Chains A and B, each alone.
Chain A
Amino acid sequence: MTEMAATTPSTTPGRWNALRANLPTGWGAAATVALAWIALIVASGIHRADFLSHQTVLAVSFTMAIVGVLAVAQALIGMSGAILDLSQPTGLIMSAAVVAWLLERNVPIPLVVVAGILVGAAWGFANASIVVLAKLNPIIVTLATNFIGGAVMFLVYQNAQAPLKSSFSDFGRSYFLGLPNIWWPMLILILVVGYFLPRTRYGRHMIAVGGNRFAAQTRGVSLKKTRLAVFSIAGAIVGGAGVLFACSNGPFAPTAGATFQLPVIASVILAGCSLSGGRGNVWLILLSVGFLSTVPTSLVFFGLNSNWQAVFQGIILIVAVSIDGSRTKRTQR
């Protein structure tokens, strides 16, 4: 992690600054999120002792699974300097719908999973092709393709669902070591991506492109190839989230993915991944997703209905980006 550390020049001498410079990247974000998470759990536990139960753990980890997988994809996009992929909801549901369609036709499950991931990758590649060929900003491209893709899906179907009585749906509704099955793929993904990103050549190229694209280019990193690769990989991850979504959810409409957009972006920013690229630690996503996924359950225990969830998530995002903004302002000076 240390090689990714944005070297914060300590302008004023002192032990505090020396200490800060030696800490790994994102420690500030990690500490803030961890403290907030602990505070939330303690407060909810004091308010209602039955909050601290296995039931809560299940609810939280179930929410974490899909948000966490999507957050990894979003973090890759952000760290490579492509800012935001607003077409994630469409990619997610497109993959889930194809998975449901194939399962109804009795296609073997391993093939279905591969197909779901490939649909996501193809969606990412299509977005990247427009970005690279037309040289347009990814935010606007993905805003438009999300619009178009959602409408196209409505022309094809209104409501889809993976067959309930199948080992596929059983998997999505069962548990392993006391946690939902769909939670474990998310954990493995975060650990693997977080490990390999700073330790492999391709991972470092990606972060270099995000940090300073022109410097990376003069060192022989192809911007076009990197963009295509990052979007395709992120798309494949979104496709994987679609598979998890299909096996754990009831009937879903083409717009069902929209609710994930905000918690995903919020958790990426809370984890200290810069949207403008070059900085971030994927492992910390586990913390931020955990914190954000605890909020809805806590609110229920505080007697606030689910509408307050949106209010709190929105406020948390505003606070998080404000902290992120003042942090970048400080390092730029």
Chain B
Amino acid sequence: MSMDKSAPVVEPTGLDRHQLRDLLTGSVTSIGVALLLVVIIGLTWVGPNFLSTSNVTIMGSFVAIPMIVAAFAGFALLAGVVDLSIGSMLGFSSNICAALMAAGWPLAGAIPVALVACLICGAINATAIVIFGADTIAATLGMLVALRGMTYIISGPVGMIAAFDNDFYNLVNLTVGPLPLIFVFSLVVIGLAAFIVSRTRRGRHIQAVGGDDRAAARAGISVTRVRFVALMLSALGAGIGGILYVGQLGSASNYTGTGLEFQVYAAMMIGGYSILRGGIGNPIGAALGLLVVAGTSNIIDVRAISPYLTNIIVGLMLLAAVLLDRLRGGDAYE
């Protein structure tokens, strides 16, 4: 602020007052403060063990795959099309991958098949929503249920497929210092997504389409193509997440990914995204939101309080986050 007084003409490259205010009241800042609070509560309530190597490893491997899924699903949210089917899609992908591995396929064969299957489902979502104009939430809810059914069919009467590949398991569960390799990988994915969203032309196109599709169309952006690609990316992210779960757990079950969409979207909304209005949100906010949720549930786990309390807290945080978004200038519903 003192910079403004000394320099009456604001430097075009520096932080002017508006940018500073946006930075202080923006969604990434408020979620950053929330994360800080979680860490402080964790350190005082759980003790220094909260940030011990083993606990950080547990939290890191717990949050890594949802973070990768969120990085991809964020493109769809940003383009203004929410994809509720990501949880089932993840279960579908992990069960296809595990079933093929159990049938003796090499990993290099199973992975592409699982990813292509997810992309086909993503294309079905996109066709219904973008080309026929179906309601996004209802259409992807249909996909959610259909794919959960497929997952049950693939996993068979036992409901579980063991698919242990020694090299894959070791790779996914490798740790770099206190951090699991997969967590480092998810940070890289988030960083790449953040770069694409804020620093590239395509990223700005996605934001433009989500913010105001008519204006974007007038500016010569193909709304249809952007949304189609965004939904395909969201499906691809869920597919990758499913395959990584096979590596992490050495198996897939008919329950894999159940309810993941609510976890991920609640965390993303806490982190500044909106599932009803495109054009807002940042992958870094999504990552912070997931860390807040992971930290909260870790505190509750370690203190051996009922795990259902996590859902109550996450639900309340979700309401607080959307209220904050509205007070910041989001759409009011009347």
A binding-site residues for B, Cβ under 8 Å: 83-84, 130-131, 134-141, 143-145, 147-148, 150-152, 154-155, 213, 223, 261-262, 265-266, 269, 275-276, 305, 307-318, 321-326, 328-329
Contact = CB atoms under 8 A, between A and B. Distances in A.
A310 B151 CA distance: 10
Given A137-B276, A318-B143, A144 B149 contact: no
A135 B333 contact: yes
A311 B269 contact: no
A48 B66 CA distance: 46
A318 B142 CA distance: 5
Interface stretch (B131-139, B213-221, B224-232): B131-139
Given A317-B142, A318-B146, 4 more contacts: A134-B319, A151-B308, A321-B128, A323-B132
A314 B134 contact: no
A134 B323 contact: yes
Contacts of B315: 144-145, 147-148, 151
Interface of B: 124-125, 127-129, 132-135, 137-139, 141-150, 152-153, 262, 266, 269, 275-276, 306, 308-312, 314-316, 318-319, 322-323, 326, 331-334
A322 B141 contact: no
B128 to A, nearest CB: 5
A138 B334 CA distance: 10
A265 B141 CA distance: 9
A213 B153 CA distance: 45
B190 to A, nearest CB: 24
A307 B149 contact: yes
A265 B150 contact: no
Contacts of A136: 319, 322-323, 326, 333
A151 to B, nearest CB: 4
B133 A144 contact: no
Contacts of B142: 262, 266, 313-318, 321
Contact of B139 (A84, A134, A137, A317): A317
Contacts of B276: 137, 139-140
Contacts of A143: 262, 266, 318
Contact of A326 (B132, B150, B310): B132
B312 A151 contact: yes
Given A140-B275, A314-B144, A321-B142, A148 B323 contact: no
Nearest to B277: A137
Given A137-B276, A147-B315, A313 B266 contact: no
A321 B124 CA distance: 13
Contact of A147 (B149, B275, B314): B314
A131 B275 CA distance: 16
Contact of B146 (A83, A310, A323, A325): A310
Q: Which of B125, B132, B142, B269 has the largest count of A CB atoms less than 10 A from its CB?
A: B142
Contacts of A307: 149, 152-153
B149 A262 contact: no
A199 B40 CA distance: 59
A322 B132 contact: yes
B155 to A, nearest CB: 9
B40 to A, nearest CB: 24
A322 B126 CA distance: 11
A35 B153 CA distance: 29
A1 to B, nearest CB: 23
A136 B331 CA distance: 8
Nearest to A305: B153
Contacts of B133: 322, 325-326, 328-329
A315 B146 contact: yes
A328 B129 CA distance: 13
B134 A310 contact: no
A275 B139 CA distance: 12
B138 A148 contact: no
Nearest to B133: A325
Nearest to B151: A307
A134 B333 CA distance: 9
A327 B76 CA distance: 24
Given A140-B318, A318-B143, A265 B138 contact: yes
Closest 5 CB pairs of A and B: A314-B146, A310-B149, A317-B142, A325-B133, A151-B311
Q: Which of B137, B150, B269, B306 has the largest count of A CB atoms less than 10 A from its CB?
A: B137
B306 A262 contact: no
A321 B139 contact: yes
B311 A318 contact: no
Given A136-B333, A314-B146, A314-B147, A269 B138 contact: yes
B276 to A, nearest CB: 6
A322 B130 CA distance: 10
Contact of B153 (A137, A151, A311): A311
A145 to B, nearest CB: 7
A318 B152 contact: no
